[in-house]
Structure 1
């Protein structure tokens, strides 16, 4: 699809992958609305800061009214808490579901009519290799990403009729605040954004950014015991 001259909205755009998405879309000639719960933290002069909390229907509705034309929606806002199944706070797990899963659903549902009026456009959902691989020290986060992946597939079916392309982006560890305490090789947010936009331009439905996510996806058809024996 064409990006130049189109309007794009990126949630969670005040830092990390969201900020990289905003910059990549600007570089491709889009008008970018950079959304965050605290838009005053967004200082990039080339984007339009906008308040949006993906768990707050009122701010979502206001954003829909503010952005009259939209062609690209990037559902990037996310949260994660540490905790195994046996010890994790269920309140934290519910928060992960509210932001990562229900937040993606709510924002997409709200903007779907706008996308339809503007020719269909695209929805990009920032997913994870954890969509397919449970993480013992972050059980709630992985479960929320698995739910978000399933939701993305349902969106792809539901939005196809209005011409909206749905792209899921999967990656392992990214060098952001969210993974600051993880001692694993990481790629940069800019690499994620570049790969995602390249995939959008070529019409892909899923982008597996790094080798880790490709290895996990390729293991899915195998026996579940074999998948988890190696982790």
Structure 2
């Protein structure tokens, strides 16, 4: 189903920097009516508030805290698009001494956070026949040794995103799974790949194109598009195929 951002109200977790900030800026430039900036630290969005005035509104949200998410959903009842962008990453191999603790923390944010956000906004998205966008990663498709726990959490969030797609489909709610590869953000600094990183701007451009065309997957940057080539057949014949009956 096609979905256009013009005059829509958007809720973005982690909107204060990196990909979240780029989405905010591009969506407003493309005609979004308003963007809720869902962040842990409200002071971190002051520059966006000064730039966009009444087109943005900051809401304090911690996606590990169900109460804060529910409070945000109860306030932002005019939302058409929910973008779950907030996430964490650690560079931990699978048998490191801290691997289990790290994995628990990443699942708490990257997986349970998605589920909390989707649940809190379920009724609003159905009423608006809106869109839910989840920032996953190419790391959800392949495990990289020094990011093993992060990759595991993102594989789980990708699986949950598929379930959400099937859950919302009868209600005409679009669900989008975004799989950046290497984008110039703080995460790229952590992983050491900033020298080959694409601009964060490619992500919102890809999101809007996919929403408009009704696609489920987005591989927005140069590295992601290389992986998309190999993944496409599996996606078409397994992920997107209905095996019911």
Tell whether the structures are fold-level matches, with TM greater than 0.5. Answer: yes
Whole-Å separation in 2 of the counterparts to 1:204 and 1:88: 40
1:26 aligns with 2:37: no
1:131-180, CA deviations, whole angstroms, 9 ceiling, x for partnerless residues?
A: 11101001110001111111111110000111100011112111111121
Deviation at 1:35, TM superposition (A): 0.7
Whole-Å separation in 1 of the counterparts to 2:144 and 2:186: 18
Whole-Å separation in 2 of the counterparts to 1:117 and 1:8: 15
Among 203, 208, 211, the alignment partner of 2:219 is 208
- Against the structure 1 CA distance between its residues 88 and 172, is the aligned structure 2 distance closer, same or farther, given a 3 Å change threshold? farther
Q: Show the counterpart of 2:70.
A: 61
Q: Show the counterpart of 2:240.
A: none
By percentage of residues, which structure has more helix? 2
1:126 aligns with 2:113: no
Structure 2 unpaired stretches of 5+? 235-245
Deviation at 1:210, TM superposition (A): 2.6
Whole-Å separation in 1 of the counterparts to 2:213 and 2:91: 36
Q: Show the counterpart of 1:144.
A: 153
Among 66, 69, 81, the alignment partner of 1:72 is 81
SS of 2:59's partner is strand
Is the Cα contact below 8 Å between 1:133 and 1:216 reproduced in 2?
no
Question: What TM-score, normalized by structure 1, do the two folds share?
Answer: 0.91
Range that drifts further, 43-52 or 7-16 = 43-52
Range that drifts further, 41-50 or 9-18 = 41-50
Large movers: runs of 4+ above 2 Å? 210-222
Q: CA RMSD in A?
A: 1.5
Q: How many residues align?
A: 221
TM alignment of 1:147-186, pairs within 5 A: 147-181=156-190, 182-183=192-193, 184-186=195-197
Q: Show the counterpart of 2:57.
A: 48
Is the Cα contact below 8 Å between 1:38 and 1:51 reproduced in 2?
yes
Whole-Å separation in 1 of the counterparts to 2:9 and 2:65: 22
Deviation at 1:215, TM superposition (A): 3.1
Q: Show the counterpart of 1:196.
A: 207
Deviation at 1:51, TM superposition (A): 0.8
Among 91, 111, 121, the alignment partner of 2:121 is 111
